[in-house]
Amino acid sequence: MRKCKTVTSPILRRDLLGTAAALVGTAATLPAAEAAQISGSLPWSPSEGTPPPVEPTQPYTWEFFTADEAALVGAIADRIIPADDLSIGGKEAGCAVFIDKQLAGNYGKGTNYYLKGPYRPGTPQQGPQTLETFAQRYREGLAALVAFCASKHGGAAFTTLSAADQDALLHEMEAGAFYTGPVTSTAFFNQLIQNVREGYFADPIYGGNKDMAGWKLIGFPGARYDYRDVIGRRGEKLDLEPVGLMGRPGWNPA
């Protein structure tokens, strides 16, 4: 493998300033006709990309999951991140909604993965070694969990079990008690863990992290414009109200 040549010559401040001045001078000589003038209101509408509303007024319509699958994933999310006196649980935070949106999009389709084979078992460091998409893995994995649960509990659904029984089933799933197609239940369990975490802490624009509960739990201030007024206050608890990509409740017009 060829090594890249390291550039050791420092860029002096005067050189940088001189380059910046030259760029400004060049920009000043551009014809005025090439620049559009905008007056009055802006020529675009905020949120025109139709992101989900901050406070949805209609029930969410599942894009990938069936109603039963959504209920199952919501129940699993509540066992992975249960509600307590610190914050809400995974279901209320919208983790199932987040996962549903991901599986209905490029993540579920495996757009960024090579899926044409040949398939050979690999090491964990090599990433997913399967021809299945994540959407297929969820569909098969959830069906396998439903069947395994029914065989263990006389046909009962996972959502009807006690929290202790649900935890016991998830522990068996983590240990590889059943298979979900080309991958073990352990691999599917690890994927569930990862996706629930992502849903709990991702920006609310993606469907989870309701009311930025995950960010408030860890003290993350979100996508703020800048931190110049607090950057020097080290070691101090700031209690900054988190801000998402779509702002926060109270900022957006009705």
Asked if residue 196 lies in contact with residue 76, where contact means CB atoms within 8 angstroms, the answer is yes
Torsion of CA 103, 104, 105, 110, to 10 degrees: 50
Q: What per-residue confidence (pLDDT) applies to 99? A: 97
pTM recorded for the entire structure:
0.74
Residues 6+ apart with CB under 8 A from 96: 65, 70, 73, 74, 77, 90, 199
**pLDDT category, 36, cuts 50, 70, 90?**
low
**Residue 250 pLDDT grade (very low, low, confident, very high; cuts 50, 70, 90):** low
Which residues contact residue 67 at a Cβ distance below 8 angstroms, ignoring those fewer than 6 apart?
none
CB neighbours of residue 221 within 10 Å: 16
Do residues 95 and 87 lie in contact, with contact meaning Cβ atoms separated by under 8 Å?
Answer: no
pLDDT digits (tens, 9 = 90+) for 129-163: 778 889 999 999 999 999 999 999 999 999 999 99
Between 56 and 120, the more confident residue is 120
* Proportion of the chain above pLDDT 90, given as a percent: 49
pLDDT over threshold 70, residue 48: no
What is the phi/psi pair of residue 88, to 5°? -80, 165
**Residue-level pLDDT at 113:** 78
pLDDT for the residue numbered 2: 38
Rounded to a whole number of angstroms, the distance between the first and last alpha carbons of the chain is 58
Cα-based angle 178, 183, 186 (whole degrees, multiple of 5): 55
How sure is the predictor about 9, in pLDDT bands with cuts at 50, 70 and 90? very low
Q: Which of 12-21, 93-102, 116-125, 164-173 shows the lowest per-residue confidence on average (mean pLDDT)?
A: 12-21
Q: Given this model, what pLDDT does residue 41 score?
A: 61
Task: Say if CB 217 and CB 210 are below 8 A apart.
Answer: no
Q: How far apart are CA 241 and CA 224, in angstroms?
A: 9
pLDDT in tens, 217-238: 998 888 887 888 888 888 888 8
**Cβ(236)–Cβ(121) below 8 Å:** no
* Spatial distance between the Cα atoms of 208 and 73, rounded to a whole number of angstroms: 13
Q: Where are the alpha helices (DSSP H) in 55-184?
A: 67-80, 95-104, 106-109, 134-152, 163-174
At residue 35, the pLDDT reads 60
Q: What is the mean pLDDT of the chain?
A: 80
Q: What tens digit of pLDDT does each residue of 89-104 get?
A: 999 999 999 999 999 9
Peptide bond into 118 cis (omega under 30): yes
Is residue 171 over pLDDT 60?
yes
Amino acid at 139: R
Q: What is the pLDDT of residue 56?
A: 53
Structure confidence by residue, pLDDT tens digits, 194-216: 999 999 999 999 999 999 999 99
Q: How far is CA 120 from CA 42, 131, 198, in A?
A: 55, 10, 28
For residue 169, pLDDT over 70 is answered with: yes
Under 8 Å between Cβ of 103 and 64: yes
Question: Token digits for 30?
Answer: 């551009």
